Amino acid sequence: AQKVTQAQTEISVVEKEDVTLDCVYETRDTTYYLFWYKQPPSGELVFLIRRNSFDEQNEISGRYSWNFQKSTSSFNFTITASQVVDSAVYFCALSEDSNQFYFGTGTSLTVIP
Amino acid sequence: GAGVSQSPRYKVAKRGQDVALRCDPISGHVSLFWYQQALGQGPEFLTYFQNEAQLDKSGLPSDRFFAERPEGSVSTLKIQRTQQEDSAVYLCASSKLGEYSYNEQFFGPGTRLTVL
């Protein structure tokens, strides 16, 4: 079974629009960690955020914000006022009581100027 | 350099050929990971080292895949008798600490392997 589901395969938005990338995870552990990574065309995964299962406080970093809801097992990522440079593939990942990361299949975001 | 480096960046192999992919982690990072990323998919875990010890190799798809990190720094992923289904990007990541899963993993640029 897929531990991390990113149902949106591809999203296109016009520059300056807001966009939300969905992530749903599955785990039986009470302690776990969630991550978002960005993969630009160059291919290198870039860390965006880490959240542990005991901290449901939402986080904002500039134009980026994350909404963690344990009740729905979701960890969604919103980009406000999108820019062309935000175009990339975004991956959500789950880590349980090990060092292994489980990645979703990614959401390809295209921001149209 | 400051980041994780991998070489070669691109590798083309004929079916049946052996290949070796190299990863230089960030200096001082205890943990090292290998992932396989097929086209249009997310990275999939292959194996994990803590220093020179290979603590988890559950993701290696077959006994043709072998990884080592003999001195606890540089790691090599070797694939013997390559098959077309081995074509993918192989990503290496390192993290600072040796325990627990909250450690941020820093990724290299990957090696794109194409098996003809």
Could you read off the pLDDT tens digit of each residue along chain A, which spans 113 residues?
Answer: 679 999 999 999 999 999 999 999 999 988 899 999 999 988 889 999 888 888 888 888 899 999 999 999 999 999 999 999 999 999 999 988 666 789 999 999 999 99
**Are the Cβ atoms of B31 and A99 closer than 8 angstroms?**
yes
Residues of chain A contacting residue B108, judged by C-beta atoms under 8 Å apart: 44
With 70 as the cut, is the pLDDT of residue B101 above it?
no
Q: Measured between alpha carbons, how far is B80 from B77 in angstroms, rounded to an integer?
A: 10
Residues of chain B contacting residue A95, judged by C-beta atoms under 8 Å apart: 101-102
Question: Quick one: closest CA in A to B9, which residue?
Answer: A43
Closest CA to A106 of B42, B116, B58: B42
Rounded mean pLDDT of B67-92?
A: 96
Q: Is A71 on the interface with B (CB under 8 A)?
A: no
Backbone φ and ψ for A70, nearest 5 degrees, come out as -65, -30
* pLDDT band per the 50, 70, 90 thresholds, residue B97: confident
pLDDT digits (tens, 9 = 90+) for B33-76: 999 999 989 999 999 999 999 998 999 999 999 999 999 999 99
Question: Quick one: closest CA in A to B58, which residue?
Answer: A100
pLDDT at A98: 66
CA of A95 to nearest chain B CA: how many angstroms apart? 6
A78 in Cβ contact with A59 (< 8 Å): no
pLDDT at B64: 97
